[in-house]
Amino acid sequence: MDTETPTHCPYCALQCGMTLRPVAGAPVAEVVERTGFPVNRGALCGKGRTAPAVLSSAVRLTGPLVRNAVSGVLEPAGWDEALGRIADALRATRAAHGADAVGVFGGGSLTNEKAYLLGKFARVALGTSQIDYNGRFCMSSAAAAHQRAFGLDRGLPFPLEDIPRTGCVILVGSNPAETMPPALRYFTELRANGGKLIVIDPRRTRTAEQADLHLAPRPGTDLALALGMLHLVVAQGRLDEEFVAARTSGWEDARAGVMAHWPEQVERITGVSVPQLREAVAMFCDADSGMVLTARGPEQQAKGTDTVGAWINFCLATGRAGRPLSGYGCLTGQGNGQGGREHGQKADQLPGYRKLTDPAARQHVAGVWGVDPDALPGPGRSAYELLDALGGDVRALLVMGSNPVVSAPRAGHVEERLKSLDFLAVADVVLSETAALADVVLPVTQWAEETGTMTNLEGRVLLRRKAVTAPEGVRSDLEVMHGLAALLGHGKGFPTDPEEVFEELRRASAGGAADYSGITYARIAAEDGVFWPCPGEVPGSVGPDPEKAGPEPEKTGPGPERCGPDTAEAGQVPAGAVHPGTPRLFLDRFATEDGRARFVAVTHRPPAEETDEVYPVVLTTGRVVAHYQSGAQTRRVAELNAAAPGSFVELHPRLAERIGVAEGEPVAVTSRRGRAVAPARITASIRQDTVFMPFHWAGEGRANSLTNPALDPVSRMPEFKVCAVRVEAGDGRSAGAGD
């Protein structure tokens, strides 16, 4: 590396722009501000600033590891031996138990190219339906609700730059001050411009402290809160009847559920007083425009899809959707949480956000892949269901870019399932807790050592550029898939060059909901990212094999004329002109068949697990600013570790007093699934009936030892955000809260 390289942070979905600069005499680069990139304008959080530390070979895997069958120890091995062991094991498993006995588990931080090729690898090279990824744990409920209401799932239907210019924002279960600090300025600017910020969160977070109004409902009751607020909208005559009549369908069905949720009843369910509900409704409706933005709080519930649906209903009823500076959006979490859910590593999906069950979609993608559509497997299991099946009918697993031993719900059980496999292979940058269980571990390149595209939370497709040389002995995930596919008899169709993979992805996504066909590496570099959908001509597009060709593939997505993108930017693209991309969706019509957004009738229901005499306290989980996801990378950065060295239990002073613990003393938290012990962090900013634990750590303080894998029936999202626990002094001095 001898020049400065503009690129992006390896972590969250904001995908902050940064520049990497060589450091004389040092093996890794330093981060410098990239003020010209519009999303973060140079600002970075501590994770982004310190990201080069994970490039150092001191914390890296720099050669494959293979488990010695006699000693049981992971030992260094060559690439040929490691890949050969994996191919032999996968082949043997398939021969003995069938193709679906081999599973693949991907990640929401993989580049678009990797996510795309992983889906193809599973379905073409392995012939298995058993593929899903950890993004199922992150954004799937919002994605499902988006699809249901708007016919299209893109986290934000507008760029972040619109936030400071709207009238009022309701942030539901989102804490950008901790999860993506550079995004906080959009809300600060909103307030500086005279706009209002309402934060809904059981904890008085650093984000909530900046709000004009903070509502603190009981965890798991946000659905009732949304219904109660919508009830008030109707009762106070603030329904936007003109918008509802012109741009939506299904209001009458949804209305019945809304009107059944009286404010006083909602106060009893949520703990939010009727005057506060009224204040929130007045604040939102008095503004001339508004947005509702959700994050993991309402989404990571066994009713997450309906909860998000209730907030979408609220937006539609108030006319705050499909209009400039208004709408519903989801603040996606993982680095490629958006792109990672579009191109085929989901259990039910083909590239371009196509459905695996759609014959036309199968025809199109099979044509690009040069295979028979009938040879493509059908949908597989969702992430937790796949992990739960390990050691049963799924006997071997390949993991890429994920650490489920820390990040999965009911993690102790998942760890046992992983141990029960006949064979486990993990490709990772470091020896994560999951990699430590593997039979073969493959060391792979990361972030600044490779090129690839990411799609940030706005739907902006970005280019991460290779800036440094990877340690010797490390290969890219694309090279891993290429090598394994070749050993499994698929020597063609798995390129190792990311741009070549992207060109294929463009063809595969053409005409789909997430259409990338008009996006190129050169355009992304020149334009600071391109928003999808962006249709275009793809050179070398071969289309389906005419021998197997059926009807023309049906459009499953918006295209410029289908979802009514920003007409000034995309809706009136002259024939032959380059499509500019679509920063703003739905301004003319939604991406449904009739162009109308759909109200969905939803009603409140309690969490899958309610508190009782034995487990009288609610546990909710989340993140801290210093760490990303399972912490596999950030826990290896000294500065971040010093700032947040381990797990903790946040609890109210009254609860602490009741169980007899002081600040820093160990607290034991027990659920029906397990036990965790971590130091007390006592604060009045949390409800008295609730404790909070961050989920970044393994071992004794692992929050996910406790969490409930109850699944949302639509999205298959587990209920990370609420479960019933007993809380007691970790040294056994107390009998537990509620006793």
The binding site for ligand SF4 (CB under 6 A) comprises 9, 11-12, 14-16, 40, 44-45, 47-48, 180-182
d(CA 669, CA 671): 7
Instruction: Tell me whether residue 110 or residue 361 sits nearer to ligand SF4 (CB atom).
Output: 110
**Toward ligand SF4, which CB reaches closer, 9 or 115?**
9
| Residue 229 or 462 having the CB closest to ligand SF4 | 462
Total Cβ atoms within 10 A of residue 28? 18
Please give the sequence-ordered ranges of beta strands (E in DSSP) within 568-689, or none if there are none: 597-598, 617-622, 649-651, 666-670, 675-682
Q: Kindly tell me which of 173 and 322 has the beta carbon lying closer to ligand SF4.
A: 173
Taking the least distance from each CB to ligand SF4, the nearer of 453 and 611 is 453
Distance of closest approach, residue 199 Cβ to ligand SF4, in angstroms = 18
287 SS3 class = coil
Query: What is the nearest approach in angstroms of ligand SF4 to the Cβ of residue 453?
Result: 15
Rounded (10°) angle between helices 304-317 and 251-259 = 110
Amino acid at 505: L
Nearest distance, CB of residue 34 and ligand SF4, angstroms: 11
Rg (CA), the chain: 25
Cβ proximity to ligand SF4: between 31 and 77 the closer is 31
Task: Give the helix/strand (H/E) hosting 728.
Answer: strand 723-729
Q: Give min distance, CB of 711 to ligand SF4, in A.
A: 28
Rounded Cα gap, residues 12 and 19, in angstroms: 17
To the nearest 10 degrees (0 to 180), the angle between helices 222-235 and 274-286 is 70
Q: Compare residues 176 and 228 and give the one whose CB is closer to ligand SF4.
A: 176
Residue 551: other Cβ atoms inside 10 A: 8
Residues in a beta bridge with 719: 708
- Least distance CB 11 / ligand SF4 (angstroms): 3
Contact 535, 563 (CB under 8 A): no
Interhelix angle 251-259/222-235, rounded to 10 degrees, is 100
Q: Which among 166, 189, 185 has a CA at the least distance from the CA of 42? A: 185
- Which residues, including other chains, have CB under 8 Å from residue 239's CB and lie 6 or more apart? 233, 317, 318
Cα 226 to chain centroid distance, Å, stands at: 23
Distant-in-sequence, close-in-space partners of 657: CB < 8 Å, separation ≥ 6: none
Going by their DSSP bridges, the two strands 5-8 and 17-22 should be labelled as antiparallel
Min separation Cβ 639 and ligand SF4, Å: 13
Q: Which residue is nearest to ligand SF4 (CB)?
A: 48
In terms of CB distance, is 44 or 508 closer to ligand SF4? Answer: 44
State which residue, 538 or 625, has the beta carbon closest to ligand SF4: 625
Nearer to ligand SF4, 45 or 293 (CB): 45
Pick the closer one to ligand SF4 by CB: 270 or 629: 629
Beta strands in 298-419 (DSSP E): 327-330, 349-350, 354-355, 396-400
Coil, helix or strand for 199?
Answer: strand
Q: 3-class DSSP state for residue 44?
A: coil
CB of 15: closest distance to ligand SF4 in angstroms? Answer: 5
The position carrying tokens 């979609």 is 361
Least CB distance from residue 16 to ligand SF4, whole Å?
A: 3
Least separation, in Å, of the C-beta of 628 and ligand SF4? Answer: 6
Of the candidates 93, 69, 97, 99, the one whose C-alpha atom is nearest the C-alpha of residue 81 is 69
State the SS3 of 682-725.
Answer: ECCCECCCEEEEECCCCHHHCHHHCCEEEECCCCCCEECCCEEE
Least distance to ligand SF4 from the beta carbon of 458, Å? 12
Residue 543: enclosing H or E segment and its boundaries?
none
Q: Which is nearer to ligand SF4, 519 or 625 (CB)?
A: 625
CB atoms within 10 A of CB 463: 25
CB of 5: closest distance to ligand SF4 in angstroms? Answer: 16
Q: How far is the CB of 702 from ligand SF4 (least distance, A)?
A: 22
Q: In terms of CB distance, is 365 or 632 closer to ligand SF4?
A: 632
Nearer to ligand SF4, 48 or 106 (CB): 48
- 133 pairs with which residues across the strands? 106
What is the rounded end-to-end Cα distance, in angstroms, of the chain?
A: 62
Shortest reach from residue 42's CB to ligand SF4, in Å:
11
Beta pairing partners, 682:
651
Q: Name the residue among 589, 712, 692 with its Cα closest to residue 202.
A: 692
- Residue with token string 């607290």: 667
* CA distances in angstroms from 287 to 168, 237, 290, listed in the order given: 6, 15, 7
Where is 102: in which H helix or E strand? strand 102-106
Closest to ligand SF4 by CB, 184 or 508: 184
DSSP 8-class letter at 470: P
Least distance (Å) from ligand SF4 to the CB of residue 8?
7
Assigned token pair, 558: 């918006």
Minimum distance of ligand SF4 from residue 44's CB (angstroms): 4
DSSP 122: I
Q: C-beta of 37: minimal distance to ligand SF4 in Å? A: 10
Q: Which is nearer to ligand SF4, 337 or 483 (CB)?
A: 337
Which residue number, 178 or 503, has a Cβ lying nearer to ligand SF4?
178
Whole-angstrom Cα distance, residue 691 to residue 647?
13
Helix (H) or strand (E) holding 133: strand 131-133
Smallest gap from residue 183 Cβ to ligand SF4 (A): 7
